[in-house]
Amino acid sequence: MALIPRYCSQCGQPVGRQTVQGRPRAVCSACGTVFYENPLPVAAAVVLNERRQVLLIRRKRDPYQGQWCLPMGFAEVGETIADAALRELREEAGIEGRVVRLLDADSFTSERYGDLLITTFEVEKTGGSERPGDDAMEVGYFCIFDHPPLAFSSNEKALRTYIALHQESWAIQDSFSRLDEAQPAEMLSDALVGLIEQHADQIARLWLEDVQDNPTTASYRRIDPEELRRRGGLALSQFSRWLKGDEASEEIRAFYEELARERRRQGVALHELVSSLTLLKKHLWEFAHAQGMWDRPINIYRVLELSRRVAVFFDRAIYHAARAFES
């Protein structure tokens, strides 16, 4: 608990308890000087490695001896609270760091020290090597989603804040890393793929109106509109299946080779066939663009990620169609 002075530093008279501003406070009985009792400042650091594991120390001394917590300790006179966090990180865990941002400020009541004000920073490691300092018996990295119970509730709160700040960027990184996989398990743009499936008929009709009116696809005006719409719908369905890993490359090749042979028999030029597929890609992209919300980076990424997947699919489709058309 905070120490209350017995004698006034101004006049030397005894200090007692009085109610001031609605709270009991230490007050000089002679001169009325009020001695305010403030919480002790504590600085803590959240450091993660490239595997999203958080650095924890196991406490060597009481209070909470043997329990895990973030590198943390009392701020000292003459240093900022951020400098205190970096000093404690160096002393307790052996590494140097750079403050990235303020994560959290929280109150905590300790039986030994009384009221504490714990300020936690996100810190990037810049040097040193992890080793336990004087106040730590052990140092280790733990999955930020599955770590040992922490001695201080404020540490848990700061980690929840850290996760909330980074979860979208982590989702983008994870999805981006799967872009080149043959059959990615899950990607952020899958939500837009579901919308494309639901509105495939609408997209196909918009495409049909375009190819029947566009000067680059003049021959398509001679083809039965219902047959064109049906083919467009099949192409969209195939695109969705391919994105979900349900469509083999051989089936894609066969579909577009047959489409090319059929269009050639109908008197469609190669450049018109290529243009029709490009127009379908355009309408697919425009639909996805219209569904995207542009207020958050994760939603922007969803649309851009889908754009790349659309481009890869239609590049293959156009290649197979053009090769079959010319053979």
Backbone Cα Rg of the chain: 33
Beta bridge partners of 56: 140
Residues with Cβ within 8 Å of 4's Cβ and at least 6 positions away in sequence, in order, are 15, 26, 35, 37
Whole-number Å distance between alpha carbons of 228 and 205 = 9
End-to-end CA distance of the chain: 88
Does residue 93 contact residue 139 with C-beta atoms inside 8 Å? Answer: yes
- Report which of 88, 123, 116, 118 is spatially closest to residue 104, judged by C-alpha positions: 118
DSSP codes joined into one string, 66-112? T-EE-SEEE--TTS-HHHHHHHHHHHHH-EEEEEEEEEEEEEEEETT
DSSP structural state of residue 139:
E
Whole-number Å distance between alpha carbons of 274 and 177 = 31
Catalytic residue annotation: 138
Whole-number Å distance between alpha carbons of 158 and 151 = 13
Q: In what order do the strands lie in the sheet with 34-35?
A: 15-20, 23-28, 34-35
- Report which of 63, 69, 22 is spatially closest to residue 43, judged by C-alpha positions: 69
Whole-number Å distance between alpha carbons of 75 and 113 = 14
